[in-house]
Amino acid sequence: MKISVVGTGYVGLVTGVSLSEIGHTVTCIDIDQAKIETLKKGISPIYEPGLEKMMLDNMDENRLFFTTDFLKGFKNPDVIYIAVGTPENEDGSANLAFVEQVALDIAHYVNKDTIVVTKSTVPVGTNHKIKQIIDFHLKMDVKIEVVSNPEFLKEGSAIRDSFQGDRIVIGADSDEASTIIEEINKPFGVPVYKTDIRSAEMIKYASNAFLATKISFINEISNICERVGANVEEVATGMGLDKRIGNQFLNAGIGYGGSCFPKDTKALIQIAGNVHYDFELLKGVVEVNKKQQRLILDKLHDLFMSIHGKKVAVLGLAFKPDTDDMREAASIVVTEYLVENGAEVVAWDPVAAHNAKHILREEIKYVDAIEEALGGSDVVLILTEWNQVKNLDPKVFLLMNDPIVIDGRNCFKLGEIQKYNVEYHSVGRPSVLRRKVFL
């Protein structure tokens, strides 16, 4: 099949590269000239394990192309994927300006019957709106079908998810269109679920909202565990044994971040509001997450009257490991507070540091080695569970001026930490206090 993908962000690039990997001829289109030049050189603008190699292989095989030229990109494709961003408006709703512009471009350039597939996360009803815009502005007498095909990939495992995902959702108005999209995806070997367009659009929001709910739920349980002396990891394991609950997405921590959960939860609250439905539960999920991101600061306050002049080491800045994505990361709120209150912040992150430098306060010092961040510090905050952190020998904390660890991601086993004279506070688990030394 000849496929065009509009938008080379996370979703668009991974979609284009994986569709070329299974044998389709794919042209990725973007208005960002600099990004397209980078891609043409075989360089991925995002950090995503396995992506760059797969991209290069398919470029070599002449199956994957990049262009800013819409005329070229829309020349005779069988299918056009829309994968542009739907950023958050000030009121939390999804901004559809990019999607609508692509619909106009399609109407302008398309010259044969085409299926338009929406990968971008869009509010219920948007696919029908896209069809209306295209039909209204079409320059030629051709037939356009729209299909909703939401994306469920996770950053850091996007390539693996494309080939080993749990499901591919296809929402269409006609069997013909959904069968063509099913055929395109067949080589992935992932189960397909076919439904109507509006339900497909809703599945994406409902799934993300449900996962976010799981996280806020376990975070609230963890806060109660701390107060009653229970261990949230034990609780989550015990809960997860019930197949109806499942054992995933029950890791308590400092809340969810990233490009999807914060945006999509707020958008779904808006979608519900637009039809006069007050999604109270989801509003609670969002509020709990806000509170949870700041909880590590409350713990810091319980330990220090003032952090002015204290050297605070921060391990991990990305919203989760294996990505350089800083969007909605807890590190933004946390480091802002630290700098604002006069702390000397030394940060370490193996891949997100270069992005962080453009986002976080300029007073922050970045180091390449964890030991360097810890050396002489008064307290360390762990914000991302990178393997490099989880695999640390806790003895390394003894490099600190005062070995006090506040772990927002439960990276260490309590028993391991207990072997050292380190004070350790984590999420939803009993604290480990230092042994008294009698001279």
Which positions are catalytic?
260
If one asks whether residue 151 binds ligand UDX (CB under 6 A), the answer comes out as yes
Instruction: Tell me which of 59, 84, 260, 288 binds ligand UDX, using CB under 6 A.
Output: 260
The residue of the chain with the least Cβ separation from ligand UDX equals 260
Residue 76 DSSP class = S
Least CB distance from residue 350 to ligand UDX, whole Å? 16
If one asks whether residue 256 binds ligand UDX (CB under 6 A), the answer comes out as yes
Instruction: Tell me which of 258, 316, 394, 408 binds ligand UDX, using CB under 6 A.
Output: 258
Least CB distance from residue 257 to ligand UDX, whole Å? 4
Smaller CB distance to ligand UDX: residue 86 or 208? 208
Q: Which stretch binds ligand UDX (CB under 6 A): 20-28, 44-52, 207-215, 428-436?
A: 207-215
If one asks whether residue 257 binds ligand UDX (CB under 6 A), the answer comes out as yes
243 - beta bridge partners? none
If one asks whether residue 322 binds ligand UDX (CB under 6 A), the answer comes out as no
Smaller CB distance to ligand UDX: residue 154 or 294? 154
If one asks whether residue 249 binds ligand UDX (CB under 6 A), the answer comes out as yes
180's enclosing H/E stretch is helix 175-185
Yes or no: say if 408 and 296 are a contact pair by the CB < 8 Å rule. yes
Least CB distance from residue 203 to ligand UDX, whole Å? 11
Q: Which stretch binds ligand UDX (CB under 6 A): 34-42, 189-197, 250-258, 271-279?
A: 250-258
Distance CA 21, CA 313 (A): 42
Residues 6+ apart with CB under 8 A from 67: 27, 28, 29, 36, 73
If one asks whether residue 261 binds ligand UDX (CB under 6 A), the answer comes out as yes
If one asks whether residue 394 binds ligand UDX (CB under 6 A), the answer comes out as no
Yes or no: say if 280 and 270 are a contact pair by the CB < 8 Å rule. no
If one asks whether residue 152 binds ligand UDX (CB under 6 A), the answer comes out as yes
Instruction: Tell me which of 154, 291, 294, 390 binds ligand UDX, using CB under 6 A.
Output: 154
Distance CA 286, CA 35 (A): 33
Distance CA 423, CA 417 (A): 8
Distance CA 32, CA 13 (A): 13
Instruction: Tell me which of 155, 201, 322, 423 binds ligand UDX, using CB under 6 A.
Output: 155
Yes or no: say if 35 and 139 are a contact pair by the CB < 8 Å rule. no
Compute the 3-state secondary structure of the chain and give helix, strand, coil in percent, each to the nearest 5: 45, 15, 40
Look-up: residue for tokens 């072997």?
A: 419
If one asks whether residue 250 binds ligand UDX (CB under 6 A), the answer comes out as yes
Residues 6+ apart with CB under 8 A from 235: 221, 225, 428
Look-up: residue for tokens 């030991």?
A: 371
Least CB distance from residue 329 to ligand UDX, whole Å? 7
Instruction: Tell me which of 35, 63, 119, 320 binds ligand UDX, using CB under 6 A.
Output: 320
Least CB distance from residue 270 to ligand UDX, whole Å? 18
If one asks whether residue 163 binds ligand UDX (CB under 6 A), the answer comes out as no
Smaller CB distance to ligand UDX: residue 25 or 323? 323
If one asks whether residue 253 binds ligand UDX (CB under 6 A), the answer comes out as yes
Write the burial class of residue 226 (CB in 10 Å: 0-12 exposed, 13-18 middle, 19+ buried): buried
Instruction: Tell me which of 180, 215, 379, 383 binds ligand UDX, using CB under 6 A.
Output: 215
Count of H-run helices and E-run strands, the chain: 17, 14
DSSP structure string for 381-426: EE-S--HHHHT--GGGGGGSSS-EEEETT--S-HHHHTTSS-EEE-
3-state DSSP assignment of residue 177 = helix
Give how many residues touch ligand UDX by CB under 6 A.
19
If one asks whether residue 20 binds ligand UDX (CB under 6 A), the answer comes out as no
If one asks whether residue 318 binds ligand UDX (CB under 6 A), the answer comes out as no
Smaller CB distance to ligand UDX: residue 154 or 198? 154
Look-up: residue for tokens 């063509």?
A: 180
Residues counted in the chain = 439
| Residues contributing to the site for ligand UDX (CB under 6 A) | 151-155, 208, 211, 215, 249-251, 253, 256-258, 260-261, 319-320
